[in-house]
Amino acid sequence: MSLIKSISGIRGTIGGKIGDNLTPIDTVKFAAAYGTWLKWTSDKENLKVVIGRDARISGSMIQQLTVNTLVGLGIDVVDIDLSTTPTVEVAVPLENADGGIILTASHNPKQWNALKLLNNKGEFLSGEDGAKILEIAESDDFNFAEVDDLGKITKIDDYIDRHIEEVLKLKLVDAEKIKSAKFKVVVDAVNSTGGIAIPKLLKQLGAEVVELYCEPNGHFPHNPEPLKEHLADICELVKKESADFGVVVDPDVDRLAFIDETGEMFGEEYTLVACADYVLGKIPGDTVSNLSSSRALRDVTQKHGGSYKASAVGEVNVVTLMKESNAVIGGEGNGGIIYPEAHYGRDSLVGVALFLTHLAEKKVKVSELRAEYPAYYMSKNKIELTPQIDVDAILKAMEEKYANEEISTVDGVKIDFPENWVHLRKSNTEPIIRIYTEAKSQQKADELAQQMISEIKEIVG
């Protein structure tokens, strides 16, 4: 299978050979590299790291390996066990920890797992720091603690509740208004930790909750990426239950999608658009998303008198640009909401609370809310790569071919046409070229994508 080492962590499939997969040896090596980096870069005597995981079948094994590797380095561990990515991000500063590790392969299928690494602010590491950790891992330059200096483990099992408390404290979350709306909501949490977090949050907000795939056992009932083609069951159940809407999250709860009352997708891209519309209506300011995200955010930001900027793909890039431009809200078009008032990380709990406040305030149906926003349609495609393919040469050829259009090479190649755009880039997490297009109709977006795929195949020959 695959072991993918990147500046944001290490991701791989369980089983198989060392160095090719996320085996116990690779897990220990990478956890040791992270712990060693912390020791090298801190002047503190006693270090502390928060560790949490999603509900993957391999989660408990990877967790024990990671926790005990850090203990072996003399680092104390706060083990919050079944958790979400944003919960760990919130826990790091609350615990005054020096870092955090989230054990999750996000939207990848069940055979995958990963170690995602955080700094002492609970934010993803910079590219420079991630590169240093990869270097340490390659060199095996580890120095483990002697027996009297081993780290200690503290277990805390209510961090999701603490996270919910933090969300409910946010000024723009109006719990009373949401309660008075008496929403009925269906939740699909793909049998991971969103099945704990999202129903708990919704119930605290006075909603009636219908749970679908909310058992955190790691047996994903469908492909865990929250895209339309994987969500037939919840679309059907929303209609059957006469629910106000459906909520869908990925296994680690940093991506959020809504289903409207008719069983149609609100559009993963429009999660951020709706939340931004609400926030900007209260606090004028600027927004940031990545180059692969919808133009609709730009339009809504400008409607509120703000300005919009696009970063390279990747949460750390979005966060960096948000900080530079002092953005009041931002995120990624894949349903990732980053609201600095809470923390600088994609957080579906924050997204749910903001969206529900917006909905309760406007007193409209979800389909009516969607109709208020500019209509753009995306097509998300990919081409599988073989080792022989020179991706950089392909991207260069496409850049040259469309040199007369508005081009960005910040991350791959983005070509902005007057009515639509295409973004071609290497994936950071899979051996593929991603081809994202957006246009004023689904047909045009699909046609543009197919045109680009044909042109790339011609270049490859």
Positions marked active-site? 106
> How many other C-beta atoms can be found within 10 angstroms of the C-beta atom of residue 262?
12
User: And the tokens for 306?
Assistant: 């703000």
Q: Coil, strand or helix: which one is 446?
A: helix
Q: How far apart are the first and last CA of the chain?
A: 27
Tell me the C-alpha distance between 336 and 329, whole Å.
11
φ and ψ of 384, to 5 deg: -65, 140
Phi-psi region of 314 (alpha: psi -120 to 50; beta: other; left: phi over 0): left
**Gap between the Cα atoms of 346 and 348, Å rounded:** 7
Spatial separation of the C-alpha atoms in residues 63 and 31, rounded to whole Å: 10
Whole-angstrom distance, CA of residue 28 vs CA of residue 412: 33
CA 409 remoteness from chain centre: 23
What is the signed CA dihedral for 269, 274, 276, 279, rounded to 10 degrees?
-160
Separation CA 311–CA 324 (nearest Å): 11
**CB-based contact 70:59 (threshold 8 Å):** no
Give yes or no for a contact between 40 and 143, defined as CB atoms under 8 angstroms apart.
no
Q: What is the number of other CB atoms lying within 10 angstroms of the CB of residue 341? A: 15
Q: Is 238 helix (H, G, I), strand (E, B) or coil?
A: helix
Q: How far is CA 52 from the centre of its chain?
A: 15
Cβ of 15: how many Cβ atoms within 10 Å?
A: 12
Question: What is the amino acid identity at position 67?
Answer: V
Q: Say if strands 76-82 and 413-416 run parallel, antiparallel, or are unpaired.
A: unpaired
Structure tokens at 32: 């040791």
Written as six digits, the tokens of 302 are: 């400008």
H-state helical runs in 10-126 = 24-41, 59-72, 85-94
Contact between residue 8 and residue 116 where contact means Cβ atoms under 8 Å apart: yes
Phi and psi based region of residue 274 (left: phi greater than 0; alpha: psi -120 to 50; beta: remaining): alpha
